[in-house]
Amino acid sequence: MSTSPAFAIRQADIADIVFLARHRAWMFRDMGHLPSHLEAPLERATAAYLREAMPRREYIAWVAEGGPDPATAIGGAGVQLRPILPRPRPIRDPDGLELGPEALVLNVYVEPDWRRRGVAEALMRRLLADLDARGIRRIVLHASDEGRRLYERLGFVQTNEMRFEPA
């Protein structure tokens, strides 16, 4: 477990699903993307997904604990590991192929009272170190306005992804 004076980061387990699901709903709420009547349904649906995906190691999460009760999760981050079709590696490794899996970073969330103390950066650095240790090199995410500077600081760059928006 890595520590700072005020909080600690650890890998999550299924006992943390209640926090992980709540934080996902709060993340969308804080980004202004979730009407209040959908908070509870999103939390329930997320918990149901995580109960399946975490034991399969398809979803891996980390939590930050802090405050007077050390078991209180005050933030978290996760990755969904997805198979990819083999593809050439980017310029840095022109002779190699990328075989996957790809890690999609999701659910980066820190409770409002704990923001701007480096919690998200510590979560992300731990996530990146653990993925590196697993040999996972392809790591993608969709940044919120609030998160963008953090990800840029960690080395994430803009890509050319597009999304279809049905009329």
Q: Where along the sequence are the contacts to ligand COA (CB under 6 A)?
A: 27, 30-31, 108-110, 115-121, 143-144, 146-147, 149-150
- CB of 167 vs ligand COA, minimal distance in Å: 27
* DSSP conformation class of 6: S
- CB of 34 vs ligand COA, minimal distance in Å: 11
- CB of 89 vs ligand COA, minimal distance in Å: 25
Is residue 79 within 8 A of residue 12, CB to CB? The reply is no
Q: Residue 127: what residue type?
A: L
Among residues 49 and 114, whose Cβ is nearest to ligand COA? Answer: 114
Q: What is the CA radius of gyration of the chain?
A: 16
Give Cα separations from 72 to 26, 64, 119, 136 (angstroms): 16, 8, 14, 29
- CB of 106 vs ligand COA, minimal distance in Å: 8
Nearest CA to 16 out of 50, 66, 42 is that of 50
Among residues 108 and 128, whose Cβ is nearest to ligand COA? Answer: 108
Is residue 117 within 8 A of residue 111, CB to CB? The reply is no
- CB of 93 vs ligand COA, minimal distance in Å: 27
**Residue 156 has which token pair?**
């994430």
Show the beta-strand stretches assigned E in 5-134.
Answer: 7-11, 59-66, 73-82, 87-88, 97-98, 102-110
Among residues 21 and 120, whose Cβ is nearest to ligand COA? Answer: 120
Among residues 76 and 81, whose Cβ is nearest to ligand COA? Answer: 76
Among residues 78 and 147, whose Cβ is nearest to ligand COA? Answer: 147
